[in-house]
Amino acid sequence: MASVLSGQFITENRYPLDPADFGRCVRLIRAVPELEPSLSQMRDFGKEWAAVVNNWSYWTQLYDNKQGEELYKEMKTAYSAAPVPEDYQ
């Protein structure tokens, strides 16, 4: 996420697998708030990233409220149900 949104470096791009991974995404956006308007670009990197973007607000709320188990459940459900974006290669 950092490499895509910042454009400063290239690295392997993986979606958050669990609340700890998602927390790193949240902390990145909070540390560099000017990246938040570009968050929607992550949809181009697969159905899981599209799910992250589509659920960002709700998942962030769960993360902030320390509801890790519920967040994990929501993430797994969203990833398994997420359709492949139309323009995904």
Q: Give per-residue pLDDT as tens, 3-19.
A: 888 887 787 779 999 99
**Is 69 a domain residue?**
yes
Whole-number percent of the chain with pLDDT over 90: 74
d(Cα 84, Cα 64) in Å, to the nearest integer?
A: 28
Identify the CA nearest to 24 among candidates 32, 74, 67, 7.
32
**Is 11 a domain residue?**
yes
Residue 4 is predicted with a pLDDT of 87
Give the total number of structural domains in the chain: 1
**Is 88 a domain residue?**
no
- Domain region containing 41: 1-81
User: What residues contact 14, with CB distance under 8 A and at least 6 apart?
Assistant: none
Cβ–Cβ < 8 Å for 19, 63: yes
Q: Which tens digit of pLDDT belongs to each residue from 48-71?
A: 999 999 999 999 999 999 999 999
**Is 86 a domain residue?**
no
**Is 89 a domain residue?**
no
* Minimum mean pLDDT range among 16-25, 51-60, 69-78, 79-88: 79-88
**Is 2 a domain residue?**
yes
**Is 87 a domain residue?**
no
Residue 49 is predicted with a pLDDT of 95
Confidence of residue 86 (pLDDT cuts 50, 70, 90): low
Phi first, then psi, for residue 61 (nearest 5°) are -60, -45
